[in-house]
Structure 1
Amino acid sequence: MVVLATKCYVEGDARERALDGMNSLVDNDVGDLHVEWNVGVRGDDFVQVDLTGDDAEVARNVLIEEWGEIVAHDEGLEAGEEYVGTLEGWGDAGFTLDAGEEVTIAAEDIELGRGSPEQIVERFGLVQHLPMRFVQGGETEDGDHVPTKLAESEVDRLYDWQRGNGRVNVNSATRGEARATVNRAGHAQDIVTVERLGLLEQSIVCKEDTDPPGLLAAIGAYLPAEMRCVV
Protein backbone atom coordinates (compact mmCIF):
# COMPACT_ATOMS: atom_id res chain seq x y z
CA MET A 1 0.00 0.00 0.00
CA VAL A 2 1.16 3.53 -0.73
CA VAL A 3 -0.40 6.92 0.02
CA LEU A 4 0.34 9.31 -2.82
CA ALA A 5 0.96 13.04 -2.40
CA THR A 6 -2.11 14.09 -4.36
CA LYS A 7 -5.69 14.58 -3.21
CA CYS A 8 -9.18 13.75 -4.43
CA TYR A 9 -11.38 16.37 -2.76
CA VAL A 10 -14.33 16.58 -5.16
CA GLU A 11 -17.61 14.75 -4.59
CA GLY A 12 -20.33 12.94 -6.53
CA ASP A 13 -19.86 12.25 -10.23
CA ALA A 14 -16.71 14.39 -10.29
CA ARG A 15 -15.15 12.10 -7.68
CA GLU A 16 -15.99 8.99 -9.69
CA ARG A 17 -14.46 10.53 -12.82
CA ALA A 18 -11.36 11.55 -10.92
CA LEU A 19 -10.84 8.07 -9.47
CA ASP A 20 -11.46 6.46 -12.86
CA GLY A 21 -8.80 8.77 -14.24
CA MET A 22 -6.45 7.91 -11.38
CA ASN A 23 -6.91 4.23 -12.07
CA SER A 24 -5.90 4.83 -15.71
CA LEU A 25 -2.85 6.81 -14.60
CA VAL A 26 -1.76 3.99 -12.28
CA ASP A 27 -2.25 1.58 -15.19
CA ASN A 28 0.03 3.77 -17.33
CA ASP A 29 2.68 3.76 -14.60
CA VAL A 30 2.68 0.12 -13.51
CA GLY A 31 0.40 -1.77 -15.89
CA ASP A 32 3.31 -3.68 -17.43
CA LEU A 33 4.35 -5.11 -14.05
CA HIS A 34 3.06 -8.25 -12.33
CA VAL A 35 0.82 -6.36 -9.93
CA GLU A 36 -2.83 -5.73 -9.16
CA TRP A 37 -4.08 -2.56 -7.52
CA ASN A 38 -7.05 -0.83 -6.01
CA VAL A 39 -7.35 2.96 -5.89
CA GLY A 40 -9.10 4.61 -2.96
CA VAL A 41 -9.15 7.80 -0.91
CA ARG A 42 -8.21 8.26 2.75
CA GLY A 43 -10.29 10.25 5.17
CA ASP A 44 -7.94 13.23 4.64
CA ASP A 45 -8.51 13.06 0.84
CA PHE A 46 -5.09 11.68 -0.07
CA VAL A 47 -5.16 9.01 -2.78
CA GLN A 48 -4.25 5.53 -1.56
CA VAL A 49 -3.24 2.63 -3.79
CA ASP A 50 -3.29 -0.93 -2.45
CA LEU A 51 -0.86 -3.17 -4.36
CA THR A 52 -0.54 -6.95 -4.52
CA GLY A 53 1.55 -9.27 -6.66
CA ASP A 54 5.15 -10.22 -7.36
CA ASP A 55 6.07 -6.69 -8.44
CA ALA A 56 4.15 -4.85 -5.72
CA GLU A 57 7.27 -3.28 -4.20
CA VAL A 58 8.59 -2.20 -7.60
CA ALA A 59 5.20 -0.72 -8.46
CA ARG A 60 5.12 1.11 -5.14
CA ASN A 61 8.50 2.72 -5.88
CA VAL A 62 7.38 3.73 -9.38
CA LEU A 63 4.29 5.46 -8.01
CA ILE A 64 6.29 7.23 -5.31
CA GLU A 65 8.72 8.50 -7.94
CA GLU A 66 5.84 9.80 -10.06
CA TRP A 67 3.56 11.27 -7.37
CA GLY A 68 5.50 11.54 -4.12
CA GLU A 69 4.52 9.76 -0.90
CA ILE A 70 2.72 10.76 2.29
CA VAL A 71 4.66 9.00 5.04
CA ALA A 72 3.00 7.31 8.00
CA HIS A 73 2.50 9.45 11.11
CA ASP A 74 4.58 7.07 13.23
CA GLU A 75 7.55 7.59 10.93
CA GLY A 76 7.41 11.38 11.09
CA LEU A 77 9.22 13.88 8.89
CA GLU A 78 13.00 13.95 9.24
CA ALA A 79 14.85 17.25 9.33
CA GLY A 80 16.77 17.93 6.12
CA GLU A 81 14.82 15.38 4.06
CA GLU A 82 12.71 16.24 1.01
CA TYR A 83 8.99 15.45 0.89
CA VAL A 84 5.88 16.40 -1.07
CA GLY A 85 2.90 18.16 0.49
CA THR A 86 -0.18 19.88 -0.88
CA LEU A 87 -0.61 23.63 -0.58
CA GLU A 88 -3.55 24.09 1.79
CA GLY A 89 -3.36 27.75 2.72
CA TRP A 90 -1.32 30.93 2.96
CA GLY A 91 -1.28 34.10 5.02
CA ASP A 92 1.05 36.66 6.49
CA ALA A 93 2.91 33.95 8.40
CA GLY A 94 3.71 31.88 5.30
CA PHE A 95 2.53 28.78 3.45
CA THR A 96 0.72 25.83 5.04
CA LEU A 97 1.24 22.42 3.41
CA ASP A 98 -0.42 19.09 4.16
CA ALA A 99 2.07 16.24 4.14
CA GLY A 100 -0.01 13.94 6.31
CA GLU A 101 0.68 16.46 9.03
CA GLU A 102 0.59 20.24 8.91
CA VAL A 103 3.80 21.82 7.66
CA THR A 104 4.46 25.57 7.81
CA ILE A 105 6.94 27.38 5.60
CA ALA A 106 7.60 30.77 7.19
CA ALA A 107 7.21 33.79 4.92
CA GLU A 108 10.92 34.60 5.15
CA ASP A 109 11.85 31.05 4.06
CA ILE A 110 9.68 30.80 0.93
CA GLU A 111 12.55 32.10 -1.25
CA LEU A 112 10.42 33.13 -4.22
CA GLY A 113 11.35 36.78 -4.32
CA ARG A 114 9.91 39.83 -2.64
CA GLY A 115 6.34 40.22 -1.48
CA SER A 116 3.92 38.69 0.97
CA PRO A 117 2.90 35.03 0.68
CA GLU A 118 -0.39 36.14 -0.90
CA GLN A 119 1.48 38.20 -3.49
CA ILE A 120 3.73 35.22 -4.25
CA VAL A 121 0.67 33.01 -4.70
CA GLU A 122 -0.75 35.47 -7.23
CA ARG A 123 2.57 36.00 -9.03
CA PHE A 124 3.30 32.32 -9.52
CA GLY A 125 -0.30 31.24 -10.12
CA LEU A 126 -0.45 28.87 -7.16
CA VAL A 127 -3.76 27.13 -6.44
CA GLN A 128 -4.93 25.28 -3.35
CA HIS A 129 -4.01 21.57 -3.12
CA LEU A 130 -1.08 21.99 -5.54
CA PRO A 131 1.54 19.32 -4.73
CA MET A 132 4.82 21.02 -3.80
CA ARG A 133 8.21 19.64 -2.80
CA PHE A 134 9.73 20.91 0.43
CA VAL A 135 12.62 20.21 2.79
CA GLN A 136 11.57 19.54 6.38
CA GLY A 137 13.13 21.75 9.00
CA GLY A 138 14.37 20.98 12.50
CA GLU A 139 17.49 19.51 14.01
CA THR A 140 19.46 17.24 11.67
CA GLU A 141 21.42 14.19 12.81
CA ASP A 142 24.55 16.38 12.66
CA GLY A 143 23.02 18.81 15.12
CA ASP A 144 22.40 21.55 12.59
CA HIS A 145 19.13 23.49 12.58
CA VAL A 146 17.51 23.93 9.17
CA PRO A 147 14.32 25.86 8.38
CA THR A 148 11.41 24.27 6.57
CA LYS A 149 11.52 25.61 3.03
CA LEU A 150 10.59 24.78 -0.53
CA ALA A 151 12.94 22.34 -2.22
CA GLU A 152 15.36 23.76 -4.78
CA SER A 153 13.65 21.73 -7.49
CA GLU A 154 10.31 23.34 -6.56
CA VAL A 155 11.73 26.85 -6.63
CA ASP A 156 13.30 26.13 -10.03
CA ARG A 157 10.00 24.79 -11.37
CA LEU A 158 8.08 27.89 -10.34
CA TYR A 159 10.66 30.25 -11.83
CA ASP A 160 10.59 28.20 -15.04
CA TRP A 161 6.83 28.85 -15.19
CA GLN A 162 7.50 32.58 -15.14
CA ARG A 163 10.14 32.35 -17.86
CA GLY A 164 7.70 30.55 -20.17
CA ASN A 165 4.93 31.88 -22.38
CA GLY A 166 2.34 32.05 -19.59
CA ARG A 167 -0.01 29.61 -17.93
CA VAL A 168 -3.42 29.27 -16.35
CA ASN A 169 -3.34 26.96 -13.33
CA VAL A 170 -6.55 25.32 -12.12
CA ASN A 171 -7.70 22.92 -9.43
CA SER A 172 -10.79 20.73 -8.95
CA ALA A 173 -10.51 19.38 -12.51
CA THR A 174 -8.85 16.40 -14.18
CA ARG A 175 -6.50 16.96 -17.11
CA GLY A 176 -9.18 15.73 -19.50
CA GLU A 177 -11.76 18.11 -18.04
CA ALA A 178 -9.39 21.08 -18.30
CA ARG A 179 -8.56 20.24 -21.92
CA ALA A 180 -12.24 19.75 -22.81
CA THR A 181 -13.07 23.11 -21.23
CA VAL A 182 -10.47 24.89 -23.35
CA ASN A 183 -11.91 23.20 -26.45
CA ARG A 184 -15.48 24.10 -25.47
CA ALA A 185 -14.51 27.74 -25.05
CA GLY A 186 -13.02 27.71 -28.55
CA HIS A 187 -9.41 28.22 -27.49
CA ALA A 188 -7.76 24.92 -28.40
CA GLN A 189 -5.54 26.76 -30.89
CA ASP A 190 -4.31 29.13 -28.15
CA ILE A 191 -2.59 26.57 -25.92
CA VAL A 192 0.40 24.24 -26.18
CA THR A 193 -0.78 21.55 -23.76
CA VAL A 194 -2.40 20.89 -20.41
CA GLU A 195 0.28 19.80 -17.96
CA ARG A 196 -0.74 17.59 -15.04
CA LEU A 197 0.43 18.96 -11.68
CA GLY A 198 -1.64 16.59 -9.52
CA LEU A 199 -4.74 14.47 -9.92
CA LEU A 200 -7.01 17.55 -9.82
CA GLU A 201 -4.48 20.34 -10.39
CA GLN A 202 -3.56 21.26 -13.96
CA SER A 203 -1.49 23.87 -15.76
CA ILE A 204 -2.78 25.12 -19.12
CA VAL A 205 0.35 26.15 -21.04
CA CYS A 206 -0.32 29.06 -23.37
CA LYS A 207 1.16 29.74 -26.80
CA GLU A 208 3.50 32.70 -27.15
CA ASP A 209 0.83 35.10 -28.41
CA THR A 210 -1.89 33.99 -25.95
CA ASP A 211 -2.85 36.30 -23.09
CA PRO A 212 -3.27 34.16 -19.93
CA PRO A 213 -5.75 36.54 -18.21
CA GLY A 214 -7.81 36.59 -21.39
CA LEU A 215 -7.81 32.80 -21.55
CA LEU A 216 -8.82 32.59 -17.88
CA ALA A 217 -11.73 34.95 -18.52
CA ALA A 218 -12.82 32.87 -21.52
CA ILE A 219 -12.85 29.50 -19.76
CA GLY A 220 -13.91 30.66 -16.30
CA ALA A 221 -17.62 30.36 -17.05
CA TYR A 222 -17.20 26.71 -18.05
CA LEU A 223 -14.96 25.47 -15.24
CA PRO A 224 -16.01 25.71 -11.56
CA ALA A 225 -12.48 25.80 -10.23
CA GLU A 226 -9.89 28.02 -8.60
CA MET A 227 -7.81 29.56 -11.39
CA ARG A 228 -4.72 31.76 -11.41
CA CYS A 229 -2.47 33.05 -14.15
CA VAL A 230 1.29 32.83 -14.47
CA VAL A 231 2.45 35.72 -16.64
Structure 2
Amino acid sequence: MVVLATKCYVGGDARDRTLDSLRSLLDNDLADLAVEYDIGIREDGFPSVTLSGEDAAVARNLLTEQWGTITPHFEAGERYVGTLESWDDDGFVLDAGEPVRIPSEGIGLGQGSPEQIRTRFGLVQHVPLTFVYESGGAGETLSVGRLADDQRDRLYDWTRESGRVNVNSATRAEVRATINRAGHAEDIVTVERLGLLEQSIVCTEGTDPPGLLASIGSYLPAELLAVVP
Protein backbone atom coordinates (compact mmCIF):
# COMPACT_ATOMS: atom_id res chain seq x y z
CA MET A 1 0.00 0.00 0.00
CA VAL A 2 1.10 3.55 -0.73
CA VAL A 3 -0.42 6.73 0.73
CA LEU A 4 -0.38 9.63 -1.74
CA ALA A 5 0.77 13.03 -0.48
CA THR A 6 -2.31 14.90 -1.68
CA LYS A 7 -5.67 15.30 0.04
CA CYS A 8 -9.34 14.71 -0.69
CA TYR A 9 -11.10 17.21 1.61
CA VAL A 10 -14.40 17.80 -0.23
CA GLY A 11 -17.68 15.98 0.39
CA GLY A 12 -20.82 14.84 -1.40
CA ASP A 13 -20.88 14.87 -5.18
CA ALA A 14 -17.57 16.75 -5.25
CA ARG A 15 -15.92 13.88 -3.39
CA ASP A 16 -17.29 11.37 -5.90
CA ARG A 17 -15.98 13.47 -8.80
CA THR A 18 -12.59 13.77 -7.11
CA LEU A 19 -12.31 10.01 -6.65
CA ASP A 20 -13.33 9.48 -10.28
CA SER A 21 -10.60 11.93 -11.29
CA LEU A 22 -8.04 10.09 -9.16
CA ARG A 23 -9.00 6.74 -10.69
CA SER A 24 -8.59 8.21 -14.15
CA LEU A 25 -5.17 9.60 -13.26
CA LEU A 26 -4.04 6.29 -11.78
CA ASP A 27 -5.34 4.44 -14.84
CA ASN A 28 -3.09 6.65 -16.97
CA ASP A 29 -0.10 6.37 -14.64
CA LEU A 30 -0.30 2.59 -14.39
CA ALA A 31 -1.62 1.73 -17.86
CA ASP A 32 1.53 -0.07 -19.02
CA LEU A 33 2.02 -2.10 -15.84
CA ALA A 34 0.70 -5.50 -14.78
CA VAL A 35 -0.97 -4.23 -11.64
CA GLU A 36 -4.38 -3.90 -10.03
CA TYR A 37 -5.27 -1.31 -7.42
CA ASP A 38 -7.92 -0.23 -4.93
CA ILE A 39 -8.36 3.30 -3.57
CA GLY A 40 -9.39 4.26 -0.07
CA ILE A 41 -9.46 7.60 1.73
CA ARG A 42 -7.97 7.75 5.21
CA GLU A 43 -9.64 9.70 8.01
CA ASP A 44 -7.07 12.46 7.52
CA GLY A 45 -8.01 12.80 3.83
CA PHE A 46 -4.95 11.19 2.25
CA PRO A 47 -5.74 8.57 -0.44
CA SER A 48 -4.35 5.09 0.14
CA VAL A 49 -3.70 2.88 -2.88
CA THR A 50 -3.43 -0.86 -2.39
CA LEU A 51 -1.44 -2.46 -5.22
CA SER A 52 -1.24 -6.06 -6.33
CA GLY A 53 0.22 -7.87 -9.31
CA GLU A 54 3.54 -8.56 -10.99
CA ASP A 55 4.50 -4.88 -11.29
CA ALA A 56 3.26 -3.75 -7.86
CA ALA A 57 6.73 -2.65 -6.73
CA VAL A 58 7.29 -0.68 -9.94
CA ALA A 59 3.85 0.92 -9.57
CA ARG A 60 4.61 1.90 -5.99
CA ASN A 61 7.81 3.65 -7.09
CA LEU A 62 6.03 5.39 -9.95
CA LEU A 63 3.27 6.75 -7.70
CA THR A 64 5.87 7.89 -5.18
CA GLU A 65 7.63 9.85 -7.92
CA GLN A 66 4.39 11.27 -9.32
CA TRP A 67 2.63 12.24 -6.10
CA GLY A 68 5.01 11.92 -3.16
CA THR A 69 3.97 9.64 -0.33
CA ILE A 70 3.05 9.85 3.33
CA THR A 71 5.38 7.73 5.44
CA PRO A 72 5.17 6.73 9.13
CA HIS A 73 8.79 7.66 9.85
CA PHE A 74 11.10 10.54 8.96
CA GLU A 75 14.88 10.67 8.69
CA ALA A 76 16.84 13.90 9.16
CA GLY A 77 18.08 15.34 5.87
CA GLU A 78 15.62 13.38 3.73
CA ARG A 79 12.97 14.88 1.43
CA TYR A 80 9.23 14.43 1.96
CA VAL A 81 5.98 15.96 0.76
CA GLY A 82 3.35 17.55 2.99
CA THR A 83 0.24 19.61 2.32
CA LEU A 84 -0.06 23.21 3.52
CA GLU A 85 -2.34 22.94 6.53
CA SER A 86 -2.01 26.31 8.27
CA TRP A 87 0.21 29.36 8.74
CA ASP A 88 0.87 31.92 11.44
CA ASP A 89 3.47 34.51 12.39
CA ASP A 90 6.00 31.77 13.11
CA GLY A 91 5.82 29.93 9.78
CA PHE A 92 3.90 27.22 7.93
CA VAL A 93 2.53 23.94 9.24
CA LEU A 94 2.46 21.07 6.75
CA ASP A 95 0.47 17.87 7.11
CA ALA A 96 2.80 15.00 6.24
CA GLY A 97 0.85 12.38 8.13
CA GLU A 98 1.80 14.35 11.23
CA PRO A 99 2.21 18.13 11.60
CA VAL A 100 5.59 19.49 10.49
CA ARG A 101 6.52 23.08 11.27
CA ILE A 102 8.37 25.08 8.60
CA PRO A 103 9.63 28.05 10.65
CA SER A 104 9.90 31.45 9.01
CA GLU A 105 13.64 31.05 8.48
CA GLY A 106 13.03 27.67 6.85
CA ILE A 107 10.65 29.01 4.21
CA GLY A 108 13.44 30.77 2.31
CA LEU A 109 11.24 32.78 -0.06
CA GLY A 110 12.35 36.31 0.71
CA GLN A 111 11.06 39.01 2.98
CA GLY A 112 7.64 39.28 4.53
CA SER A 113 5.52 37.43 7.04
CA PRO A 114 4.51 33.82 6.32
CA GLU A 115 1.04 35.07 5.37
CA GLN A 116 2.51 37.63 2.94
CA ILE A 117 4.78 35.00 1.42
CA ARG A 118 1.90 32.56 1.08
CA THR A 119 -0.17 35.16 -0.74
CA ARG A 120 2.68 36.37 -2.95
CA PHE A 121 3.52 32.86 -4.18
CA GLY A 122 -0.08 31.69 -4.49
CA LEU A 123 0.16 28.95 -1.87
CA VAL A 124 -3.47 27.95 -1.48
CA GLN A 125 -4.34 25.76 1.49
CA HIS A 126 -3.63 22.03 1.02
CA VAL A 127 -1.15 22.57 -1.83
CA PRO A 128 1.57 19.87 -1.67
CA LEU A 129 5.04 21.19 -0.82
CA THR A 130 8.36 19.34 -0.74
CA PHE A 131 10.38 19.78 2.44
CA VAL A 132 13.55 18.50 4.06
CA TYR A 133 12.99 16.98 7.49
CA GLU A 134 15.32 18.31 10.19
CA SER A 135 14.24 17.17 13.66
CA GLY A 136 11.44 15.57 15.59
CA GLY A 137 9.22 17.29 18.12
CA ALA A 138 8.98 16.55 21.81
CA GLY A 139 5.85 16.87 23.90
CA GLU A 140 3.67 19.53 22.29
CA THR A 141 6.47 20.73 20.01
CA LEU A 142 6.03 19.96 16.31
CA SER A 143 8.58 18.28 14.09
CA VAL A 144 10.63 20.79 12.13
CA GLY A 145 11.71 21.03 8.50
CA ARG A 146 12.56 23.50 5.74
CA LEU A 147 11.30 23.89 2.20
CA ALA A 148 13.43 21.92 -0.25
CA ASP A 149 15.69 23.96 -2.52
CA ASP A 150 14.01 22.76 -5.71
CA GLN A 151 10.60 23.63 -4.23
CA ARG A 152 11.82 27.18 -3.58
CA ASP A 153 13.25 27.40 -7.12
CA ARG A 154 9.95 26.28 -8.59
CA LEU A 155 8.01 28.90 -6.65
CA TYR A 156 10.45 31.64 -7.65
CA ASP A 157 10.04 30.55 -11.28
CA TRP A 158 6.31 31.22 -10.96
CA THR A 159 7.03 34.91 -10.25
CA ARG A 160 9.19 35.18 -13.38
CA GLU A 161 6.50 33.86 -15.74
CA SER A 162 3.49 35.61 -17.26
CA GLY A 163 1.37 35.09 -14.14
CA ARG A 164 -0.77 32.40 -12.54
CA VAL A 165 -3.98 31.91 -10.61
CA ASN A 166 -3.82 29.03 -8.12
CA VAL A 167 -6.98 27.25 -7.00
CA ASN A 168 -7.91 24.62 -4.43
CA SER A 169 -11.04 22.48 -3.87
CA ALA A 170 -11.43 21.70 -7.60
CA THR A 171 -10.19 19.07 -10.04
CA ARG A 172 -8.28 20.05 -13.14
CA ALA A 173 -11.28 19.24 -15.33
CA GLU A 174 -13.54 21.45 -13.19
CA VAL A 175 -11.11 24.36 -13.42
CA ARG A 176 -10.80 24.02 -17.21
CA ALA A 177 -14.59 23.88 -17.56
CA THR A 178 -14.92 27.01 -15.42
CA ILE A 179 -12.41 28.91 -17.53
CA ASN A 180 -14.30 27.97 -20.68
CA ARG A 181 -17.64 28.93 -19.12
CA ALA A 182 -16.25 32.34 -18.15
CA GLY A 183 -14.94 32.92 -21.68
CA HIS A 184 -11.23 32.96 -20.83
CA ALA A 185 -9.94 29.95 -22.77
CA GLU A 186 -7.72 32.19 -24.89
CA ASP A 187 -6.26 33.92 -21.82
CA ILE A 188 -4.48 30.86 -20.44
CA VAL A 189 -1.68 28.56 -21.55
CA THR A 190 -2.68 25.52 -19.51
CA VAL A 191 -3.99 24.32 -16.16
CA GLU A 192 -1.13 22.66 -14.29
CA ARG A 193 -1.99 20.06 -11.67
CA LEU A 194 -0.32 20.76 -8.32
CA GLY A 195 -2.27 18.17 -6.34
CA LEU A 196 -5.49 16.23 -6.61
CA LEU A 197 -7.61 19.32 -5.79
CA GLU A 198 -5.01 22.07 -6.25
CA GLN A 199 -4.46 23.55 -9.70
CA SER A 200 -2.37 26.34 -11.21
CA ILE A 201 -3.80 28.32 -14.14
CA VAL A 202 -0.89 29.56 -16.27
CA CYS A 203 -1.76 32.86 -17.92
CA THR A 204 -0.76 34.01 -21.39
CA GLU A 205 1.34 37.13 -21.87
CA GLY A 206 -0.89 40.16 -21.43
CA THR A 207 -3.43 38.45 -19.18
CA ASP A 208 -3.89 40.13 -15.81
CA PRO A 209 -3.90 37.39 -13.12
CA PRO A 210 -5.96 39.41 -10.56
CA GLY A 211 -8.46 40.23 -13.31
CA LEU A 212 -8.75 36.57 -14.28
CA LEU A 213 -9.20 35.66 -10.61
CA ALA A 214 -12.01 38.19 -10.25
CA SER A 215 -13.72 36.90 -13.38
CA ILE A 216 -13.72 33.18 -12.52
CA GLY A 217 -13.98 33.49 -8.74
CA SER A 218 -17.77 33.58 -8.67
CA TYR A 219 -17.88 30.21 -10.49
CA LEU A 220 -15.61 28.36 -8.06
CA PRO A 221 -16.33 27.71 -4.35
CA ALA A 222 -12.59 27.68 -3.73
CA GLU A 223 -9.61 29.65 -2.50
CA LEU A 224 -7.94 31.49 -5.38
CA LEU A 225 -4.62 33.35 -5.20
CA ALA A 226 -2.95 35.28 -8.04
CA VAL A 227 0.78 35.08 -8.69
CA VAL A 228 1.77 38.39 -10.28
CA PRO A 229 5.09 38.59 -12.19
Q: TM-score range by the shorter chain?
A: over 0.9
Q: Secondary structure at the residue paired with 1:97?
A: strand
> What amino acid maps onto 1:22 in structure 2?
L
1:174 aligned residue: 171
Mind listing any 5+ residue stretches in structure 2 that lack a counterpart? 137-143
Does the alignment pair 1:56 with 2:56? yes
2:38 aligned residue: 38
Deviation, 1:176, is 0.2
Q: TM-score, normalised on structure 1?
A: 0.94
In the alignment of these two chains, the number of paired residues is 221
2:13 aligned residue: 13
Deviations 1:159-193 (A, max 9, x none): 01001000000000000000000000010010000
Mind listing any 5+ residue stretches in structure 1 that lack a counterpart? 140-146
Q: Secondary structure at the residue paired with 2:196?
A: coil
In 1, distance between residues paired with 2:100 and 2:75? 12
Contact 1:133 1:154 in 2 (8 A): yes
Q: Secondary structure at the residue paired with 1:80?
A: coil
2:215 aligned residue: 218
In 2, distance between residues paired with 1:40 and 1:171? 21
Q: Secondary structure at the residue paired with 1:136?
A: strand
Matching residue within 101, 108, 113 for 1:111: 108
1:3 aligned residue: 3
In 1, distance between residues paired with 2:40 and 2:145? 30
> What amino acid maps onto 1:40 in structure 2?
G
In 1, distance between residues paired with 2:39 and 2:211? 37
Q: Secondary structure at the residue paired with 1:10?
A: coil
Deviation, 1:138, is 2.4
> What amino acid maps onto 2:2 in structure 1?
V
2:204 aligned residue: 207
Deviation beyond 2 Å, 4+ runs, structure 1: none
Two-structure CA RMSD over aligned residues (Å): 0.9
Q: Secondary structure at the residue paired with 1:137?
A: strand
Contact 1:87 1:131 in 2 (8 A): yes
Deviation, 1:11, is 0.3
Contact 1:19 1:40 in 2 (8 A): no
Deviation, 1:201, is 0.1
Amino-acid identity (%): 67
In 2, distance between residues paired with 1:185 and 1:61? 39
> What amino acid maps onto 2:9 in structure 1?
Y
